[in-house]
Amino acid sequence: MRFIDRTKELQRLDRLTSVDGGGCAFLWGRRRIGKTRLLLEWCKKHKGLYTVADQSAPSVQRRYLAGAVAEVFEGFAAVEYPDWAIFLSALARGGKERCLERSFCN
């Protein structure tokens, strides 16, 4: 199926790639209008990562997300991240120095 008529939305998301230090976008709207497809197309264009959270415990969510991130940053899922701050710090460093302290590594 072709992806059409989302040029403005893609351009707005594209601006995030030109911001020093990255950026953050919030996407919302009614059901079944193409939000997921928009993000998938944008991720494909920029070699990005798309994943979805669920209602599982935070530790499980971090493990699943670390597995997805490991597709981009090899070895990222090889450790357990005890909280979101440590997880996001490791992610911000581009997957380098995956543990802040040895005690956080399992």
Q: Which two tokens stand for residue 75?
A: 């070895």
- Number of structural domains (the chain) is 2
pLDDT digits (tens, 9 = 90+) for 21-71: 777 788 899 999 999 999 999 999 988 888 888 999 999 999 999 999 998
Helix 58-69 crosses helix 84-92 at what angle (to 10 degrees)? 10
Dist CA 106 CA 74 (whole Å) = 17
In a domain, residue 25? The reply is yes
**3-class secondary-structure state, position 106:** coil
Q: Within a domain: residue 53? A: no
Task: Output the CA–CA distances (angstroms, integers) from residue 60 to 11, 14, 78, 84, 90, in the order listed.
Answer: 34, 31, 14, 12, 17
Residue 66 contacts residue 76 (beta carbons within 8 Å): yes
| Domain co-membership, 92 together with 71 | yes
pTM: 0.68
Residue 35 domain flag: yes
Check whether residue 97 and residue 64 sit in a common domain: yes
Asked if the structure places residue 34 within a domain, the reply is yes
Q: Please check whether residues 42 and 72 belong to one and the same domain.
A: no
Same domain, 31 and 67: no
Residue 2 counted as domain residue:
no
Q: Residue 21 sits in which domain range?
A: 7-46
CA distance 87 to 26: 20
